[in-house]
Structure 1
C-alpha cells in the first residue's frame, strides 16, 4: 500500500493535508471531520504544540541590556563583569611576578567586590549567573576564603590563627 505524498508531511501540519483535509494514519478508522467555523460557540482552531517552521524573531541574550541601556556598546554594558575580571587578571599577574600573597589578596578582594556589586546594583550584566542570593553567597565565600588563605600564607603569615597549625599537622602527618 503506497502512502500519499501529503501523508508524509501531515504530521508537520497538525495532521492535515495542504488542502486542509485531515489525514488518517493507516490502520485507524476514518472519523468524519467536524468543520470548525470561526465564531461558532465553543469552536476553536486546533493549535499545534510544535515550533513554527519559520522563526520570525529571536530572543535577546540574557546579559545584553542589564547593566546599561542598549544604546551603549557591549563592553560599557558589562562594566561590572569586566572590572572583576580585570582585577582578577591583575592579581594573577602579580602572583606570576613573584608576589603570591599580594596577588591572592587582589583576587579575593575582586570576588568580594563582585558579591557587593551583585547585591547593590539592580543590573550587573553577565556577572549575574544564578539567582542574586546564590551569586552573592558564592562570590562572597570564595572571596573571603581566598583572602584568608592569602593572609595565613607561609612564610611569615600576616594573620595568626591559633588552631590552624595543629589542624594542618593533624591532617598532614
Structure 2
C-alpha cells in the first residue's frame, strides 16, 4: 500500500474484503507521513511543520575569508557590525545618547548593505538574504530616525507625529 494513500482509499474502508496490510509492511516516505494508530499512513501537511529537525544554511552563510585565516578574519562582517554597535552603546553610556544611538542605527544599516553587497558574510547571514536585508535595514533606519527625533532639540521633525500624539492623549 503506498504511503500517499488516503484513509478512505485504504483496504477495508470502502467495504472491500481485502485484509489491511500490517504496520511493518508500510513504507514511510517522509517524517510527516507516519502511520496512525491503526497502521495506515496519514499525510500531514509539510507547509508548517511543528518541529524543525534540520535547517538549511542561509545563502551567504559561508566563511567571509578562507578557512586558513584566523577566526576573526573569517567573520569580519559580523564583527564590524557588533563592534560598531558596542561602540554606540559605550558612547550612549557616556551620556551622548543621540550620537550613540545614531552609531547603533548606522551599524545595522551597514549590516544590511554588507548582506546585500558581499557574497559570503559568515555569521551575519541569519535567514535568507532578503529577510536579513529587510530586518537589518528596517531596524537600523528606525533607530536612526528615532535618534534624530529625540528631545531636546530634535534634528528631525515629522509634523503628523505631533498631531497623532496630541489626538491620542486628548481624545
1:114 and 2:111 aligned: yes
- Counterpart among 141, 145, 148 of residue 148 in structure 1: 145
Aligned mates of 1:172, 1:94 — CA distance in 2: 33
Aligned mates of 1:87, 1:171 — CA distance in 2: 36
Alignment root-mean-square deviation, CA: 2.1
Structure 2: stretches of 5+ with no match in the other structure: 1-21, 23-56
Report which of the two structures shows the higher radius of gyration computed on alpha carbons: 1
Q: Deviations over 1:30-85 (max 9, x none)?
A: xxxxxxxxxxxxxxxxxxxxxxxxxxxxxxx9898520110101111000000000
Counterparts of residues 47-86 of structure 1 (less than 5 Å): 65-86=62-83
Aligned mates of 1:118, 1:64 — CA distance in 2: 10
- Counterpart among 89, 93, 96 of residue 92 in structure 1: 89
TM-score (norm 1): 0.62
Once the two structures are TM-superposed, the CA of residue 170 in structure 1 deviates from its matched residue by 2.6
> Residue 92 of structure 2 contacts residue 101 of structure 2 at CA under 8 Å; is this kept in 1?
yes
4+ aligned runs moved over 3 Å, structure 1:
61-65
Structure 1's 71 and 64: CA in aligned 2 closer, same or farther, altered over 3 A? farther
> Residue 112 of structure 2 contacts residue 134 of structure 2 at CA under 8 Å; is this kept in 1?
yes
Aligned match of 2:36: none
Q: Deviations over 1:115-149 (max 9, x none)?
A: 00000000000000000000000000001000000
Structure 1's 96 and 172: CA in aligned 2 closer, same or farther, altered over 3 A? farther
- Counterpart among 100, 103, 127 of residue 100 in structure 2: 103
Once the two structures are TM-superposed, the CA of residue 167 in structure 1 deviates from its matched residue by 1.5
Aligned mates of 1:144, 1:131 — CA distance in 2: 20
Counterparts of residues 119-138 of structure 1 (less than 5 Å): 119-138=116-135
> Residue 64 of structure 1 contacts residue 74 of structure 1 at CA under 8 Å; is this kept in 2?
no
Aligned length: 115
> Residue 65 of structure 1 contacts residue 77 of structure 1 at CA under 8 Å; is this kept in 2?
no
